[in-house]
Amino acid sequence: MPTGFSTSKGELVRSILFPKPVDFKFSQDGIKFVGCLAIIAVIGMIYTLVLMVSLFYYYYCIIVLLSF
């Protein structure tokens, strides 16, 4: 005669009380994705800054445009 966690109800209780560890791969991948987007944004901002300086924009105009 099975007793304790050996029964189907016992296994259900054990799975509720002691769940298996959850893998947070989605969160880790989300952070990597946002990090990649941030790197692309920084590269684009540096490119824009170099382009504006090479086209002799006024410095206050560059600061105003890059602040948004």
29-41 pLDDT, tens digit per residue, is 899 999 999 999 9
- Over residues 3-16, mean pLDDT: 78
Q: Tokens for 52? A: 């504006």
Burial track 30-50 (b if 16+ CB lie within 10 A, e otherwise): eeeeeeeeeeeeeeeeeeeee
Nearest-CA neighbor of 52 among 60, 62, 43, 42? Answer: 62
Instruction: Examine the pLDDT at 15 and tell me if it is beyond 70.
Output: yes
C-alpha closest to that of 52 among 40, 61, 39, 41 = 61
Structural domain harbouring 39: 4-66
Q: How many domains does the chain have?
A: 1
Report the percentage of the chain scoring pLDDT > 90: 22
Per-residue pLDDT at 14 exceeds 90 = no
